[in-house]
Amino acid sequence: MRKNKELRIGLIGCGLMGRIHTNGYKRANDFFPELEYRPVLKAVCARSEETVKAFAEQWGYESTETDWKALIAREDIDAVDICTPNNMHAEIAIAAAAAGKMILCEKPLARTLEEAQQMVAAIEKAGVNNTVWYNYRRVPAVTLAKQIIDSGKLGRIFHYRANFLQDWTINANVPQGGTATWRLDAAAAGSGVTGDLLAHCIDTAMWLNGGIKDVSAVTETFIKERVHQETGKVQKVGIDDACIFHCHFDNGALGLFEATRYARGHKALYTFEINGEHASIRWDLHDMNRLEYFDHSDESIVRGWRSIHVSDSDQPYMNRWWIPGTSIGYEHTFLHHVADFLKSLETGEPCSPTFREALETQKVCEAVLDSAASRSWKNTDVQWVEKHADGKVPVLGEA
């Protein structure tokens, strides 16, 4: 049996994302056996001793902590995975970087642009490996879309439109704050759908179509007050329940984005469509293993949208999985991210999206919120560069 180098993981936060990331750590080497590094579940941290011990026992972590500072101080931790509410990202990441730890951070990078800039400065000063869990890049159908776009098949891009629709906060009795509903608390989350849902859309959009230059946005908070889970008091709601913005990309394309938690009947409808001079692409999370493609060069009598089932071994990541015609799921996107991170440790290349790339997404989010508040167009100051030090554009799914 091959002897792998250990990557000793310290996980901070054991909610949904903690479970999903841990699943990726546990299974990555099973499906990417050539990787030199193997994650070791060394320690998990949460404030509740009862909760963290139960999590460690279920998922196989060797030890537990109830203070994240104690975890970071440990010499037997190589990489810190931040799965906390957004208000803790900056403090933990900056401390972890100072301690020389690699960092994997949940999205969005931070609550604000200022926090994100401080995080980037810290990790770049320390020179530590880092990545941010924008997982939709690693849906094989989305990665295939990237490869098709980069091949030039679409030609000049005219339009990019995306939406992310949910309905879980329509009830006025849903509280803000606390373990389950911190995303409704501006102090913990920073923003509402902009940082939670649109951040995904923005990251994917700039990865596929380049930088976003300027934005004009509208936000709305439909329920103005909610009981705070921790205080029991009715407090003003400070997050955006819905957001719509349009934009210009650096390549001249127009963008249209919408996110809401008030679209009754939609649990997680994330879609995007890209219209080019020669062809168009569209994708839907609800049918995540399919990519729809229209090519105007097809003979007119058969010209139309085609549905590509992304399951063959010559398509991104799929040579690691099952027989053609079968499907993989949401959790596999995180496993792919783990595999790509482990591979980056071998090659010395960054694992996209890095903190620096996620900072550009944060710039767009901040400009969107500023635009909505001022009812005016805002420049993003995005500097989108997707090339590594050797000048090559990174390609996912080829491990």
Output the tens digit of pLDDT for each of the chain's 399 residues.
Answer: 567 899 999 999 999 999 999 999 999 999 999 999 999 999 999 999 999 999 999 999 999 999 999 999 999 999 999 999 999 999 999 999 999 999 999 999 999 999 999 999 999 999 999 999 999 999 999 999 999 999 999 999 999 999 999 999 999 999 999 988 999 999 999 999 999 999 999 999 999 999 999 999 999 999 999 999 999 999 999 999 999 999 999 999 999 999 999 999 999 999 999 999 999 999 999 999 999 999 999 999 999 999 999 999 999 999 999 999 999 999 999 999 999 999 999 999 999 999 999 999 999 999 999 999 999 999 999 999 865 333 344 445 653
Q: Which H or E run includes 142?
A: helix 140-151
**Cα–Cα dist 197/108, whole Å:** 9
Q: What confidence score (pLDDT) does residue 173 get?
A: 95
Q: What is the dihedral of CA 261, 115, 55, 344, to 10 degrees?
A: 100
**Cα–Cα dist 77/385, whole Å:** 31
Q: Looking at 176-276, which runs of residues are DSSP E strands?
A: 212-220, 225-227, 234-236, 242-249, 254-260, 269-276
**Cα–Cα dist 193/309, whole Å:** 30
- Is-contact 89 109, C-beta < 8 A? yes
Composition of the chain by helix, strand, coil, percent to 5: 35, 25, 40
Q: What confidence score (pLDDT) does residue 389 get?
A: 37
- Bridge partners of 64, per DSSP, are 44
- Is-contact 236 224, C-beta < 8 A? yes
Q: What is the pTM of this model?
A: 0.95
Residue 280 CA to chain centroid, in angstroms? 24
Q: Which of 346, 344, 393 is closest to 103 using CA atoms?
A: 344
Q: What confidence score (pLDDT) does residue 188 get?
A: 96
Tokens of 14: 């054991």
User: What one-character DSSP code corresponds to residue 186?
Assistant: H
**Cα–Cα dist 42/22, whole Å:** 11
Neighbours of 350 (CB within 10 A): 18
Neighbours of 3 (CB within 10 A): 7
Q: Which of 270, 254, 149 is closest to 212 using CA atoms?
A: 254
Tokens of 177: 């704050």
- Is-contact 259 197, C-beta < 8 A? yes
User: What one-character DSSP code corresponds to residue 303?
Assistant: -
Q: What confidence score (pLDDT) does residue 385 get?
A: 81
Distances (CA, A) of 238 to 89, 190, 369, 371: 19, 9, 12, 16
Compute the C-alpha angle 249/255/257, nearest 5°: 135
Give the side-chain half-sphere CA count within 13 A for 112.
9
Q: Which H or E run includes 284?
A: strand 279-284
Q: Is the peptide bond before 353 cis (omega within 30 degrees of 0)?
A: yes
- Is-contact 183 192, C-beta < 8 A? yes
